[in-house]
Amino acid sequence: MAGSQKSSKKAPSKQKRAADADPTRAAERMNGADAVVRSLEELGVEVVFGLPGGAVLPLYDALFAAQKLRHVLVRHEQGAGHAATGYAQSSGKVGVCLATSGPGATNLVTPLADAYLDSVPIVAITGQVGSPLIGTDAFQEADIRGITMPITKHNLMVTNPQEIPQAIATAVHIATTGRPGPVLVDIPKDVQAEEIEFTWPPALDLPGYKPNVKPHNRQITQAAKLISRSERPVLYIGGGVIKSEAHAELMEFVEATGVPVVTTLMALGAFPESHPLHMGMPGMHGSVPAVGALQESDLLIAIGTRFDDRVTGNTETFAPGAKTIHADIDPAEVGKIRDVDVPIVGDAKRVLSGLTDAFVAKGMDVPSISEWVERLDDLKKRFPRGYEPQSDGKLAPQFVIETLSREVGPEAIYVAGVGQHQMWAAQFLDFENPRTWINSGGLGTMGYAVPAALGAKAGRPDKEVWAIDGDGCFQMTNQEITTAALEGFPIKIALINNGNLGMVRQWQTLFYAGHYSHTKLGGEVYVPDFVKLSEALGAEAIRVTSEDEVVPAIQRAREINDRPVVVEFIVGEDAQVWPMIEAGSNNSDIQYALNIRPFFDMEESAAESPAAIHERGK
């Protein structure tokens, strides 16, 4: 078994498990492909998303007889990868996708990069040309290990069929432990066909892989002391809190200390937005209270986040007066972007539990921050979320999403594509629970929403799943609606159609003198006609053009549960995402609605209606 992780001759690690741990289970004779399927079943995998091809025909023959493993036939391998990601994010389990060699495998590159940047546990199993043909430029040969090495947590090629159970178990273990991420297993066609003696469980011997999940007590104590002495602390919460299932521990810490919270794009739902200490989402399109909380703080308590550039803007002017506590399970992230006063390496669940214990069980003084909370509450009152009505009489997309949130509620799972609709969804949906918000954060992958929503529904069939997509994103992966229709996943899709690549158009409006270079997708005529297209793909389709049609359309979509539903909302092309911070600039220069003054200089004393914001910005 060749792998990107170096092997070692050292003594077996604590993770090693004897292959004969259960002496009552005799070895079984089967081929390598059957061993792949059996290994996945033994590991508790229930669903695999894939598309067959020549180099995985033995695997598909094994799937034909699988008893416990459901295969979902996608229409494009990219859809398989995003579906696996959506499955993992909604369920908390590992997502698995399957593709053939060459173009099948390379079509997984984007989903793998997406999962890598968002730390999502997926395992991609790819077929490879037969061992004798490797390196000969054979038909549909591609060095998928070499191609994906920079965008996978680990990858390997199995050259010995006897090692298939170990390879699959290793892949799942690495993908789901420590900082989660994608793992690729490449298996030549002849290796899949060879017979082996299958035994379970296999030995896992990974001496170089020992994620540190337990934070050091001394660092926890130092962090608690800093928090106790702070006057303007803020919890800067990232997606790692959701991945570690630490939402309850986060709530306990906040209730014990009274420290206000901001949640990044990847952490929405980790802390209830209805809670009075939640300040919102920070960053380029974050709320004024969240951005203000970070900029004016004297202590950042960063948990499970990586100081992404979309949050920090210019790092030299980001939270300039704050000391920093940074806790992350990946030591490479701690101190990578910002100098840290107290570094903590460990699982977010344990970190938050340890910090709470320092204040509750050990009696450390909680910070005295009533004036700080009052300041942030004032920002919440002065700068509520709002939007400008559309001057062309078309629907405001924010109104659509706000109405959807009210009608459907916070128990549903919402999946977004990338662009303006993603930011509007992050701003105007109400997130109260973890694993109810799924989107492509780090890579920003257009075309993500439809297949990821399909995967989310497969992972949580008990949940109502809504994809919020734009007309640009939708045209990249809408073929997976057919997958959803034929495989029985009645997802709902709110299609925000402004006839443009909206976010690019917004930047062209603001920074390129309105030079709309190749961003217009449609016109006054519907090309494509998304209603007809969606119906052809197997979905029910509804077009909405006025405010009074919005609620009935949403209600109708919710009533249909035997097939997917696409609700197309025709919105204005000039709607923009506010607030906004220009990329790489000072976060203190946040622009609110159409007012370009820095928020620190604003003197509004009361909340303004969207109409008032619009009039003031003219």
Q: How many whole angstroms separate alpha carbon 427 and alpha carbon 445?
A: 19
| 77 in catalytic set | yes
Check 77, 249, 252, 568 and give the catalytic one: 77
As given in the structure block, the two tokens for residue 233 are: 């602390």
580 is catalytic: no
Active site residue: 93, 153, 189, 243, which one?
A: 189
Query: Beta strand pairing status for 413-416 and 465-470?
Result: parallel
Nearby residues of 483 by Cβ (< 8 Å), 6 or more positions away: 72, 73, 74, 75, 79, 83, 451, 454, 489
Instruction: Say how far residue 24 (Cα) sits from the centre of its chain.
Output: 42
CA distance linking residue 420 with residue 190, whole number of Å? 47
8 A C-beta contact, residue 151 and residue 301: no
Instruction: Say which residues have a Cβ less than 8 Å from residue 378's Cβ, sequence separation at least 6.
Output: none
Distances (CA, A) of 438 to 13, 164, 385, 560: 36, 32, 21, 22
User: Helices (H) and strands (E) in the chain — how many of each?
Assistant: 24, 20
Q: How far apart are the C-alpha atoms of 462 and 250, rounded to whole Å?
A: 26
Q: Which of 266, 284, 423, 503 is catalytic?
A: 503
Q: Which of 1, 42, 46, 140 is catalytic?
A: 140
Instruction: Note the maximum CA span of the chain.
Output: 78
Q: Where are the beta strands (DSSP E) in 170-291?
A: 183-188, 195-198, 233-237, 261-263
In degrees rounded to 5, what are phi and psi of residue 71? -105, 130
Catalytic site includes residue 480: no
User: Token digits for 597?
Assistant: 């003054």
| Cβ proximity of 473 and 425 under 8 Å | no
Which parts of 265-393 fold into alpha helices (H)?
A: 288-296, 309-312, 348-360, 370-382
Catalytic residue among 16, 28, 139, 210: 139
The two three-digit tokens of residue 78, written as one number = 């990219």
CA distance 361 to 146: 51
Catalytic residue status for 428: no
Question: Is residue 463 among the annotated active site residues?
Answer: no
Count of CB atoms situated within 10 Å of the CB of 535: 14
- Burial of residue 558 (number of CB atoms within 10 Å: 0-12, 13-18, 19+): middle
Catalytically active residues, by annotation: 77, 139-140, 189, 503
